[in-house]
Chain A
Amino acid sequence: MGRTSAKGRHNGVRAARTASGITQAELAGAVGVTRQTVVAVEAGDYAPSVYLALAIARRLGGTVEALFGEASEADRPGSGNEMGAGL
C-alpha cells in the first residue's frame, strides 16, 4: 500500500500523551508538526517518520518501541493491558 496511512495499526501515543497530561496541540508544538498530524498519528491514520516517532517518544518520555511496537498494539484500550508501563 503506497499511502501515508498506517492502515489501522494501533499505537500507544494517545495513552502516553494523556498519561503525561499534555494536549495534542502541546505535543504537536513540541515535535514541530501540526495538531492534525498528532491526531492522525494517534488514530493510526498516519505512520510517522522515524525522526518524528523519535521526537514524540522523547517528548513523552518513552521509547519508539513502547509507543509503536507490537506491545503497543496489545496494550491498546480494551485489550486488557494499559499503555504507559514502559514509558
Chain B
Amino acid sequence: MNAHEDDGTSRRGGWFEAAAGVVGDLDHPFYAEERQRDVWNEACAVGFQLVLWLALAAATAMVWLGGAEALPYMTTVLVVEGVAATVTVLYAQRLGVRIDDAGGLLRLRLVPYGALLVALFVGVVRVAPSDGFAGGFVQGMVAGSAAAVLWMLYSGVRARRRQRLGEV
C-alpha cells in the first residue's frame, strides 16, 4: 500500500488516539520490544486485509444464498467492515500517515475484490424489493457504492497518468 508522510501534523494526545490505544492495547509491554512490535504490526496488516476479503465474501454469499431476508445481515457485516477500515485509516491519518495515493489503488491484486463487489451489487439488486423504504434504501446504497467505486477508479487512472507525465 502506498502512503506518504504528512507535513508533521501528527497528533498523539487526542481522545481518538487514547481510545484507539485502549482498543489496540498499545501500552502492553509486548510492544516495547521493537521487532516483536514490527512483526506483530505486519501480522495485523495481513489479518486486517484478510478480514476485509472475508467480510466482503461473506456478505456476497449471504445475499446470493439467503436472498432478501439476508439483506439486514449483509448490511451489518458491511457496516462493521466499514467502521473497522475507517478507524484504521483515521488512526494512521491522525498520526501523519495519509493513504491518499489514488494511483496506488489500481493494482491487479484488487481485481478479485472488484469482482466480489460486482457480484455483491448484482446480488443485492436481484433480491432487493423494488419499492418501499427498503427497496429505495438498498437501491440507493448500491448506486452510491457503485458511484464511489467508479470515482476511485477514475481518480486512480488520473493519478497514474499524472505520475507518468511527471516521470517523463
Chain A residues close to B by CB (< 8 Å): 2-4, 32-34, 36-37, 40, 46, 48-49, 52
Q: Given A3-B42, A4-B42, decide whether A48 and B33 contact each other with a Cβ distance below 8 A.
A: no
Question: Which of A3, A34, A37, A48 has its CB near the most chain B CB atoms (within 10 A)?
Answer: A37
Q: When the two chains form their complex, are residues A34 and B33 in contact, meaning their CB atoms are under 8 A apart?
A: yes
Partner pick for B34 among A2, A3, A48, CB 8 A cutoff: A48
Chain B residues close to A by CB (< 8 Å): 1, 32-36, 38-39, 42
Q: Nearest chain-A residue to B35 (Cβ)?
A: A37
CA distance A36 to B39 in the complex (A): 12
Q: When the two chains form their complex, are residues A36 and B35 in contact, meaning their CB atoms are under 8 A apart?
A: yes
Whole-angstrom distance from the CB of B134 to the nearest CB of chain A? 43
Q: When A and B form their complex, what is the total count of cross-chain residue pairs whose Cβ atoms lie within 8 Å? A: 26
A3 contact set on B, CB distance < 8 A: 42
Q: Is the interface of B mostly helix, strand, loop or mixed?
A: helix
B34 contact set on A, CB distance < 8 A: 33, 37, 48-49, 52
Q: When the two chains form their complex, are residues B42 and A40 in contact, meaning their CB atoms are under 8 A apart?
A: no
Q: Nearest chain-B residue to A51 (Cβ)?
A: B34
B39 contact set on A, CB distance < 8 A: 4
Whole-angstrom distance from the CB of A30 to the nearest CB of chain B? 14
The 7 closest A-B pairs by CB, nearest first: A4-B38, A37-B35, A46-B35, A49-B34, A33-B33, A34-B33, A52-B34
Whole-angstrom distance from the CB of A54 to the nearest CB of chain B? 12
Q: Nearest chain-A residue to B37 (Cβ)?
A: A4
B36 contact set on A, CB distance < 8 A: 34, 37
Q: When the two chains form their complex, are residues B35 and A33 in contact, meaning their CB atoms are under 8 A apart?
A: yes
CA distance A84 to B38 in the complex (A): 29
Whole-angstrom distance from the CB of A81 to the nearest CB of chain B? 28
Q: Nearest chain-B residue to A49 (Cβ)?
A: B34
Whole-angstrom distance from the CB of B73 to the nearest CB of chain A? 35
B35 contact set on A, CB distance < 8 A: 4, 33-34, 36-37, 40, 46, 48
CA distance A52 to B32 in the complex (A): 12
Could you list 12 A-B pairs, sorted by A, with CB under 8 Å? A2-B1, A4-B35, A4-B38, A4-B39, A32-B33, A34-B36, A37-B33, A37-B34, A37-B36, A40-B35, A48-B34, A52-B34
